[in-house]
Amino acid sequence: MSEHNEVEVPMAGTDVLVVGSVNYDYIVTQDRLPRRGETFAAAGAKGAFGGKGANQAVQAARLGATVRFIGACGADGLGRQCLDNLRSQGVDCHMRPTEESSGLGIVHVVGEGDVYATIVEGANGAVDRGWIDENAQLFQDAGVVVIQNEIPAEANERTVELAAAAAVPVVFNAAPARPVAERVTRRCTWFVVNEDEASAYLGRDLGDVRDDTAMRRAVVDLQRFCRGVVLTLGSRGCYVADGTSVQFIEAVPTHAVDSTGAGDSFIGAFADALVNGSDPVAAAVDATRVASITVEGVGAQSSMPTREVLTSEVL
């Protein structure tokens, strides 16, 4: 047993089980952000389905995985649309009934695809320990469990406990960054963050993402949270650490239009590859390729590729 992780387990089933958020996104495209007190005219706006959990579930499903989802949708019209959308993508949904309004994402896409996002928790706050327990049977067929930080921490903690009891590895996309107990992260198999989230967890600036030495040092430092670490760096690529080595994976060159959902696309593809038997580095290579397609379109789920697209255009 590793000194970093409390548990190392083989995959038990074949499903991808996502426990997470469902949002409806309002995406505003503009040249820049407005200054304080300024009213700035945007180039365009559109609505799209989102939420980190939902995005990751959809990407895994589009790649052919059997995906189960535990979460909550709003009681309003947007919530019903979000639920219908997930089901239409082939995701088996287990949503907690709630009178809360839908979770929302306000996304500003600026310049060459840079993203500034604000989320409103809404119905996602209804996902608690009790709801995870009510769906405990789903862990028995899971090959991997995926969590993020857009639902209450107590739900994530209970998810990790049930996954450990069922001998199922956990991919923890610790985004957005928020305080989390190391006793929870150390029971996960993979801790996946981007450079901004890594900086928040380590409490320091990482330095230039092109500085290989600095990035490797950051990955090693992140291993205090979990033995397995993936540090994603957007157009630079990513680093994968499995406890014995740290490997760099270069990004696939692409014309980025909107980076919304790229990280979620990476996670969904990473989980799909793991559950299909890929080793972590190969899984990250595939995930990097999938994310490179996602950034070529506007929106998160609307830009995520299917297995057929991946096979014909990338692999």
**pLDDT tens-digit series, residues 106-121:** 989 898 778 898 999 9
Beta carbons within 8 Å of 77's beta carbon, 6+ residues apart: none
Nearest-angstrom CA–CA distance, 121 and 24: 11
The reply to whether 208 belongs to the active site is no
Please report, in angstroms and rounded to a whole number, the separation of the first and last CA atoms in the chain: 36
User: Out of 15, 25, 258, 264, which one is annotated catalytic?
Assistant: 264
State the pLDDT at residue 305: 83
The predicted structure's pLDDT at residue 299:
64
pLDDT score at 290: 92
Residue 226 one-letter amino acid? C
Residue keyed to tokens 């650490």:
241
What is the tens place of the pLDDT at every residue in 24-33? 999 899 999 9
**Reduced to 3 DSSP states, what percent helix, strand and coil does the chain have, rounded to the nearest 5?**
35, 25, 40
Percentage of residues in the chain having pLDDT higher than 70: 92
User: What pLDDT score was predicted for residue 7?
Assistant: 40
Non-local CB neighbours of 69 within 8 Å, separated by 6+ positions: 17, 18, 19, 20, 53, 54, 57, 86, 91, 92, 93, 94, 95
Taking 70 as the pLDDT cut, the residues of the chain under it are: 1-12, 255-260, 298-299, 312-315
